[in-house]
Amino acid sequence: MVAGFDFDESCRYAYETNIGADFIHADIAEVTPEQLREVWGDAPVRLLAGCAPCQPFSSHRRGADTSEEKNWSLLQHFGRLVAETRPEHVTMENVVRLMRMPVFDEFVATLRASGYAVDYRTIHGPAFGLAQSRRRLILVASRLGVVRVPNPEPNGTVASVREVIGALPPVQHGEADPNDSLHRARRMTPLNLARMQASLPGGTWRDWPEELLAACHRKASGASFQAFYGRMEWDKPSPTITTQSFSFGTGRFGHPEQDRSLTMREAAMLQGFPRDYAFVEDGAEPAMATVGKLIGNAVPPPFGRAVGEVFLARTATA
């Protein structure tokens, strides 16, 4: 990897520190083919990897017309850059629901018209060693020949929450590990702490006494919010890690045993990042909202590794 383009300046430190590549602060809608060619230089094999923001296509927005949102067209800009620069390899990751959107059909058509062999399908995190029940759309394309979305290892074992975060030092809500500023748990209100203490691993708010129920739980529609205010289970994969996974009320993000929500370090490790991955400078106070976005919006590293191996194999045989 030689460079990355992103509109969010907060990505810079983590990108440059861990990957060792240049971070270019730019809006993809304004990036030119000349900028990409300058970054690639005279490399004999070039890869363009992209991930348009998933919010307009998320299942949380089901039924809403999001076609007028500014992020909707970013996949089209990605396709424009592919058509104008024609790198040897292209890949993209996004939410599964994107496959049902016209903008995705247009993107695939652009790739094929530009001479690419294209393959895409849904992959599941646990099948690739990710301790997270994350399903994502993966697309791979190449001008060097046929490529296929990676297959999981046969007879692979499913990683669990315990395997990934079970050895981390315990912390209380509102406190942090003195040796790791990211291993910090959000402070809970007395009401949410009582809810956490009444929650069972893998259970729901139906396990709580009546006085702890939120207003939404008392409505008939509350039945559709089973995973909110929930604890994870030690010996299963986690749910999908989101940008708000440090918050108990936004999903099944309660620690399996300790009375608190996930720390940012736990969320990152469940997303597949190494234990020592640096998201903020040494001594800096990590903002949960900022780091949560970096973690939840990331392509899980095990997915990236599997896709990279596909292109390495294709290049070696071209």
Q: How far apart are CA 120 and CA 140, in angstroms?
A: 6
CA dihedral (300, 39, 47, 87) positive or negative = positive
Which tokens belong to 318? 């071209």
SS3 letters across 169-197? CCCCCCCEECCEEEEECCCCCHHHHHHHH
DSSP 239-285: ----TTTT-GGGSS-B-SSSSSB--HHHHHHHTT--TT--SS-TT--
* Distance (Å) of CA 37 to CA 57, 82, 237: 30, 11, 41
Q: Is 54 a catalytic residue?
A: yes
- 143 CB-contact burial (10 Å; exposed 0-12 / middle 13-18 / buried 19+): middle
Instruction: Return the beta strands (E) in 95-186 as ranges.
Output: 117-124, 135-142, 176-177, 180-184
Q: How far apart are CA 258 and CA 173, in angstroms?
A: 9
Of 174, 187, 176, give the one whose Cα is nearest residue 280: 176
Query: Which residue among the candidates 11, 51, 54, 216 is catalytic per the annotation?
Result: 54
Which tokens belong to 173? 């809500």
- Residues classed as catalytic: 54
